[in-house]
A = this chain, B = another copy of it.
Amino acid sequence: MSPREQLPQLPAAQPLLIGIDAGGTRTRAYCADAAGRLIGTGDSGPGNALGVRPDALVRHLKQALTAAMPAEVRGRTAAVAAGFAGGGHGRGRENAAACLTRALEALGLEAVAMEVYGDAEVAFASGPGVPSDGLVLIAGTGATAGRISGRREVRLVDGHGWLLGDEGSGFWLGREALRTALRAVDGRGPRGLLVERVLERIAPGWRRADGPPAVDARQLRDVIADWAYSRPPAALAGLCPLVVGAGEEGDPSALALLDRAADELADKLAALDAGHGELLVATGGLIAPGGPLADRLEARVAPMGLRMVAVRDGGVGAVALAGLLTHRLI
């Protein structure tokens, strides 16, 4: 949490507040005092409420909670608010609530007030003043936009994952980088800096300094396919930095991809019928403060009349929601 994202001062209370932000790659717990001052954080493995098996999700929650809270203060825990990717409604929310209950019981915290949210809800609550209504956009490995009303998501756009959507996400950028390389190898597209970087990452040494390449076009096709199909699709997001780097050096293919990604993200917001002056909370690696698409996104949402605030993650919001839970303000 940066100073700028410091929690608003909540009504004083001795107890501790726990916020959890559980996403597709990481489960992170935040422990704060009633004034929102951070006491500890703890990380563990994936926390998607629809994609992680219950036993693993319980284990990740316990690990993150244990690491975030010194044992001697655990008894002071008053409330836990947890946001899960896939946990905003329906079966995902039920899964998440059941797993969180088991994790809290295992830590002797069964009497603590708890509430389950979607990741979009805790991200939005990380905005200024623990806002209750507006738009949220998450662009990390995946990409989801949502409308929040009364601190609950009432509409979602995209977030359909690598097979069906997430255009403009980190996965999407990584996959498009690979596709750009394959088009070049197939003789269907230009072979610029981005393509060189991708080929060098996936087939190091494929081109010798002198003489013909060590690997011909048909072999390159196979090497790229082997690389891509031998890992989980979401791992293609790992190629994102190559796109960002090539873009910074002016590669036209990379710049075009980054612009298209920002267009795709803005399109999701446009589908939410934004009103003039509405708050947009933006988070996820691509659009969090300093993220590679943050400026591009801001340039696209300003003409839509949106007031964009970028936050690092949903941790601040989860802790704030725990505070509101304690005080029965919601």
Residues of B within 8 A of A218 (CB): 88-90, 156
Chain A 220-246 interface residues, beta-carbon cutoff 8 Å to B: 221-222, 224-225, 228-229, 233, 236
- Bits for A62-98, please: 1 = Cβ < 8 Å to B, else 0: 0000000000000000000000000011111000000
Additional A-B contact list (7), CB under 8 Å, known A89-B218, A164-B178: A50-B222, A88-B218, A160-B179, A161-B225, A163-B228, A163-B229, A164-B224
User: A156 contacts B225, CB within 8 Å?
Assistant: no
Is A175 interfacial (CB 8 A cutoff)? yes
- Considering only CB atoms, which chain B residue lies closest to A153 in the complex? B218
- Considering only CB atoms, which chain B residue lies closest to A236 in the complex? B163
- Considering only CB atoms, which chain B residue lies closest to A89 in the complex? B218
How large, as a class, is the contact surface on chain A?
A: 35 or more
Q: What distance in Å separates the Cβ of A95 from its nearest Cβ neighbour in chain B?
A: 11
- Bits for A147-163, please: 1 = Cβ < 8 Å to B, else 0: 00000000111101101
Secondary structure dominating the interface of A: helix
Is A256 interfacial (CB 8 A cutoff)? no
Is A165 interfacial (CB 8 A cutoff)? yes
Is A219 interfacial (CB 8 A cutoff)? yes
Is A4 interfacial (CB 8 A cutoff)? no
* Stretch touching chain B among A182-190, A277-285, A287-295, A311-319: A182-190
**A287 to B186 alpha-carbon distance, docked (Å):** 22
- Bits for A31-73, please: 1 = Cβ < 8 Å to B, else 0: 0000000000000000000100000000000000000000000
User: B92 contacts A222, CB within 8 Å?
Assistant: yes
- Considering only CB atoms, which chain B residue lies closest to A272 in the complex? B187
- Considering only CB atoms, which chain B residue lies closest to A233 in the complex? B163
**A220 to B105 alpha-carbon distance, docked (Å):** 33
User: A222 contacts B156, CB within 8 Å?
Assistant: no
Known A90-B218, A156-B221, A218-B156; contact A165-B182, beta-carbon cutoff 8 A: yes
Can you name 22 A-B pairs with beta carbons within 8 Å? A88-B218, A90-B222, A91-B222, A92-B222, A155-B187, A156-B186, A157-B188, A160-B182, A160-B221, A160-B224, A160-B225, A161-B229, A163-B175, A163-B229, A163-B233, A163-B236, A164-B179, A164-B182, A164-B224, A164-B225, A165-B179, A188-B271
**A300 to B118 alpha-carbon distance, docked (Å):** 48
